[in-house]
Amino acid sequence: MNNHFLAGEIPNCAPETAVVHVIPAPLESSVSYGGGTAAGPAAILEASTQLELWNGRSCPGEAGLYTAPAVNCSDNTETALAEIESAVSYALECGAAPFVIGGEHTVTLGALRALKKAYGTFGIVQFDAHADLRPSYEGNPLSHACVMRRAVDDLELPVFQLGVRALCVEEAEFRMGSNLVKHIDARELYLSGIPEKLLPDDFPEKIYISFDVDGLDPSVIRATGTPVPGGILWHDALTLMEKAIMGRHIIGADVVELAPQAGDHASDFAATQLAYELIGHCVEHGRKGEKL
């Protein structure tokens, strides 16, 4: 396995001078359907050797990327989250934007905890097939199905959801009654297209983008634990990211829930290219090395 993002193309930058810290977090503790997310970070690092440095706008890899050692996720979930929080806090101390690669979606909570301490209020832009707003799932409040509920209830962070097309009644009712959760679901995107202005005027200027790969249609990425038909297509996803970022700063991002399958190199590479697109936005629209 290659030990850093874009190995063979660029050296692993020193953490103190890097613009982005890539943080592998191979957590798989609450999978409720297909498994395999623990192998996601390694698959993305491996596939990154096949990327072109030029992403169509620039060469963000040349700005300085540091890939941290993989977070130890072999203990309980709370311990893993504490390790992720520590790695993200270190990235912020270095003046870098943290970019987490999962692992199941629960890894996002570790990043959000660190960012909350550093920045206070910020907004989360969530790409996902699922709302992830259950208070608890199968008795576990730290399930991947609860990560955005933890963000709202525990951290009081506003969330804007894109591409959701699978949620329970309780989640639908929670969204309707919450001032902190807004959304444009997959059906609305299909029927009405992408709006000219995506985020509300009162959405925070600082944003964190969390991209569950099942937010994309399975024709783009099939290797994920719970693929749902009718998802976002590739170029629409890029456009949605661009519109979300417009006039705002990214303080961090993640790509989660890749569950590699033997012979499906296309899914691994698509997830990796998605990660590089987001890394590019972190370089272009991030805090640009601003120290805390």
> Is residue 135 in some structural domain?
yes
> Is residue 230 in some structural domain?
yes
Domain count, the chain: 1
> Is residue 97 in some structural domain?
yes
pLDDT of residue 1: 44
> Is residue 6 in some structural domain?
no
pLDDT of residue 287: 59
Q: Do residues 144 and 226 lie in contact, with contact meaning Cβ atoms separated by under 8 Å?
A: no
- DSSP string of 135-165, one letter each residue: S-BTTBTTSGGGHHHHHHHTT---EEEES--
pLDDT of residue 291: 39
> Is residue 1 in some structural domain?
no
For residue 289, pLDDT over 90 is answered with no
Residue type, 168: C
> Is residue 117 in some structural domain?
yes
Give per-residue pLDDT as tens, 80-126. 999 999 999 999 999 999 999 999 999 999 999 999 999 999 999 99
- Domain containing residue 168: 20-285
pLDDT of residue 285: 86
Binned at pLDDT 50, 70 and 90, residue 56 comes out as very high
> Is residue 272 in some structural domain?
yes
Share of the chain above pLDDT 70, in %: 97
Q: Which of 27-41, 87-101, 189-203, 236-250 is predicted least confidently?
A: 27-41
Share of the chain above pLDDT 90, in %: 93
pLDDT of residue 2: 57
For residue 224, pLDDT over 80 is answered with yes
Give per-residue pLDDT as tens, 7-39. 989 999 999 999 999 999 999 997 767 789 999
What mean pLDDT is reported for the chain?
Answer: 95
258: which residues sit within 8 A by CB, 6+ positions away?
37, 40, 43, 44, 102, 213, 221, 223, 224, 267, 268, 271
> Is residue 2 in some structural domain?
no
Report the CATH number at residue 149: 3.40.800.10
Output the CA–CA distances (angstroms, integers) from residue 219 to 6, 227, 231, in the order listed.
25, 10, 9
Mean pLDDT across the stretch 260-270?
97
